[in-house]
Amino acid sequence: LQIFSQEYINLLLSMYFFVLGILALSHTISPMMNRFFPANFPNKQYQLLFTQGSGESKEEIVNYEFDTKDLVCLALSSVVGVWYLLRKHWIANNLFGLAFSLNGVELLHLNNVSTGCILLGGLFIYDVFWVFGTNVMVTVAKSFEAPIKLVFPQDLLEKGLEADNFAMLGLGDIVIPGHWALPFPYSLKKNTHTYFYTSFVAYIFGLGLTIFIMHIFKHAQPALLYLVPACIGFPLLVALAKGEVTEMFSYESSAEILPHTPRLTHFPTVSGSPASLADSMQQKLSCPRRRRQQSPSAM
């Protein structure tokens, strides 16, 4: 922002998130849209194949299978993308933001509580410093026209869909606590959801407290300042009450517990429709084969 014009930065970001948002939204709505297609829908299969080399040294770089239903989802997502590109409407922004958040929570997860505490503790300090210690976080959030945040119109009742006065919530404040809740799908392998629901309630409490403090002091607040103590404190209090603190910190979730949220410890070549992406990745991880080593920087 200090070196380049804000107009050019926003133009670059708009094109980048236009493409990325369409793909993310298409992947997100694909499982839901499959329920609305009639049984006699003419669904054809397609394959996008990109290889490197020839003969015995030929190697698959991209081998992506999709069908007509996926193309319909892609077309619907493209309509939202064009709407966002032309109007920058807050609804289109939020659709893309929610898609990014859901994909982020789906693709990566924390497999134990200790790792989650370290991550949340570090980001707690990070968020507090960049909001209260400098004006960088607020400046970026207000200056960048990109779906890196959810916006909530404060003048919705006055201006309707043309509202232009917004409160903002960064996507990191959704994704990071979302990762924290995932080690508790079945509470300590006891086939209950106690800790997951506790984390869910803790997030609602922490976010509500953030909004309350923001309105009291009329100043932007780092949401993780309130979300981190709530998301760690609530499950810890439940564990203390149940006498499961040691068990809680020694527990590790596995692929069997979380079949649809694989750990990206490898970077496999994935084939399949968007709806079966997670299953395909899990099958690749459970049945590894020799493949070209890829750099972690690909993330």
Rounded to an integer, what is the distance from CA 194 to the centroid of its chain?
Answer: 23
Measured distance CA(130)–CA(198) in Å, rounded: 29
Q: Quick check: is 127 catalytic?
A: yes
Q: Quick check: is 173 catalytic?
A: yes
Q: Is 281 exposed, middle or buried (0-12, 13-18, 19+ CB in 10 A)?
A: buried
Measured distance CA(22)–CA(24) in Å, rounded: 6
Which residues have a Cβ under 8 Å from the Cβ of 140 and sit 6 or more positions away? Answer: 1
DSSP 133: I
Which residues have a Cβ under 8 Å from the Cβ of 236 and sit 6 or more positions away? Answer: 245, 248
Rounded to an integer, what is the distance from CA 293 to the centroid of its chain?
Answer: 26
Measured distance CA(120)–CA(228) in Å, rounded: 6
Which residues have a Cβ under 8 Å from the Cβ of 233 and sit 6 or more positions away? Answer: 202
From the candidates 70, 127, 155, 279, which is the catalytic residue?
Answer: 127
From the candidates 67, 164, 173, 279, which is the catalytic residue?
Answer: 173
Positions marked catalytic: 127, 173
